[in-house]
Amino acid sequence: MLEWISNLPNYSAYGTPVYFIYLLLAILPLGIGLYFGKRFSWYEALISFIFIFLMFDGSSWQQGISLIGYVIYQTLLVMIYHRYRQKNNSSGVFYLAAALSILPIVIVKLSPAMLGHNSLLGFLGISYLTFRAVGTVIETRDGMIKEISPWKFIRFILFMPTITSGPIDRYRRFEKDYKKVPTKEEYLNLVNTGFFYLFLGFLYKFVIGYFFGQRFYPFFERAALADPSFPSWNLIGVMYTYGFYLFFDFAGYSLFAVAISYFMGVRTPMNFKQPFKSKNIKEFWNRWHISLSFWFRDYIFMRFVFLATKKRWFKNRNALSSTAYMLNMLLMGFWHGITWYYILYGFLHGLALVANDWWLHFKRKKLKNLPHNKFTTGVAIFVTFNFVMFTFLIFSGFLDTYLFK
């Protein structure tokens, strides 16, 4: 059986134009049903199973087994905690449930650094599924989720368009959206917007992203490694080409996920909103990987601030917010991986958020007459953009090879 599965063709999500042909043909009956006000949940489940199977068959069959075990584990955990929460609300039990939900991703992230190899528990998309699972535990603790079943949770956590790389949805929002079948006019608007996002995603990922990722970035990478001077113009080329590649590739993928979700009658939240137009680093994180940054904001930053305020850990509000920023972004850095460049990336963004708050406070107090016009706005965008690009160079890991070659 395993030999048969390992010999099957593997289709990564949104990897090739052929994948889209198969996917659009498969969801066409679902779209017809939605047009006439019917949601064929059984057919959606079948199609989702087939395409998730195709993502994790072939050479990825071991990841597929890990995915099955992971979903069973998280479903049992969520259902047990939900049943407990209906009668009790101990903080200790909540923290235990949240810790157990996070445990698999902690093992996966620590394994390369601690053991020297990847964990067998890992699979493509485990981070994004963990965010959904932990978020469900937290919403249950807060009393926002009154009713949940194993099937509804599995349907949410394994929502096929977003399974491998997000955007990160939340159970309460997803379930409310899923229950409401759109009207004919609403669905036509979703389809119209979905096709726009689909073609924009093709432009981003397969055209612009291709040239930056497959042509420009490798050229500057080779040139920078061969250039003995430091820093060099070729290194700057690596910085900008990688930054643009990262945006267009990931934004393109996210647009595909949102578009397919729309075709399936679910309004998955957008993940990017012209981030390079940001005037400061806080605005950048409101525009970049929005579902991730808002998840950290709501479940890490805000909860730490609430707890620290309640416990009176800080006398100074600025010290509290600065600590919360650093904690939030360092955790985000560690989430990407236990390597110096991911951790430094998180540290620098935390520091930038602290500096941004300090600057805004200083400007209100000492620079009240500082002009606000197109020029100052342009300067702010320029500074923010170049800081982000510099941190993307660190995030890329290229400096690990470049500095220690």
Single-letter residue type at 206 = F
Flag whether pLDDT at 2 surpasses 60. no
The answer to whether the beta carbons of residues 353 and 297 sit under 8 Å apart is no
| 3-state SS assignment for residue 69 | helix
Task: Establish if 39 belongs to a structural domain.
Answer: yes
Q: At 65, give phi and psi (nearest 5°).
A: -65, -40
**Among 152, 181, 210, where does a domain finish?**
181
- Residue 269 counted as domain residue: no
43 neighbors 30 (Cβ within 8 angstroms): yes
Q: How many domains does the chain have?
A: 2
Tell me whether residue 268 is in a domain.
no
Cis omega (within 30 of 0) for bond into 182:
no
Q: 286 and 149 in one domain?
A: no
pLDDT band for position 35 (50/70/90)? Answer: very high
pLDDT tens digit sequence for 232-280: 899 999 999 999 999 999 999 999 999 999 999 999 999 999 999 999 9
Give the pair of three-digit tokens for residue 102.
């996070």
Q: Is residue 201 part of a domain?
A: no
Render pLDDT for 163-215 as a digit per residue (tens, 0 to 9).
988 899 999 999 999 999 999 999 999 999 999 999 999 999 999 999 999 99
On the question of pLDDT at 405 being above 70, the answer is no
Spatial CA neighbour of 321 closest among 365, 272, 360: 360
pLDDT tens-digit series, residues 323-368: 999 999 999 999 998 899 999 999 999 999 999 999 888 888 877 7
Is residue 166 a part of any domain in this protein?
yes
Query: What is the SS3 assignment for 152?
Result: helix
Distances (CA, A) of 34 to 44, 192, 206: 11, 14, 30
Residue 111 within a domain: yes
Tell me which of 115, 150, 181 is where a domain ends: 181
The domain boundary, picked from 128, 146, 181, lies at 181
Q: Is residue 318 part of a domain?
A: yes
Q: Which pLDDT does position 1 carry in this prediction?
A: 54
Residues 175 and 286 in one domain: no
CA distance 24 to 33: 14
Catalytic residue numbers, as ranges: 336
State the residue range of the domain holding 309: 277-404
- The pLDDT of residue 157 is 95
* pLDDT at residue 316, rounded to an integer: 86
CB-based burial label for 179 (10 Å; 0-12, 13-18, 19+): exposed
Query: 175 and 308 share a domain?
Result: no
Give 123-146 pLDDT, tens digit per residue. 889 999 999 999 999 999 999 998
**Who wins on pLDDT, 16 or 107?**
107
C-alpha gyration radius of the chain: 23
- pTM of the predicted protein model: 0.93
For position 7, what pLDDT does the model report?
58
Q: Is 55 inside a domain boundary?
A: yes
Domain match, 29 and 145 both: yes
Average pLDDT, the chain: 91
114 vs 389: CA distance, rounded Å: 30
- The stretch 3-9 carries a mean pLDDT of 59
Burial class (CB in 10 A: 0-12, 13-18, 19+), 334: middle
Could you say which DSSP state residue 58 is in?
G
Separation of alpha carbons 162 and 173, rounded Å: 15
Q: What amino acid is encoded at 198 in this protein? A: L
Q: pLDDT grade, residue 8 (50/70/90)?
A: low
Type of residue found at 137: V
Structure confidence by residue, pLDDT tens digits, 301-312: 999 999 898 888
CA distance 338 to 266: 35
DSSP 8-state class, residue 8: S
Per-residue confidence band for 399, with pLDDT thresholds at 50, 70 and 90: very high
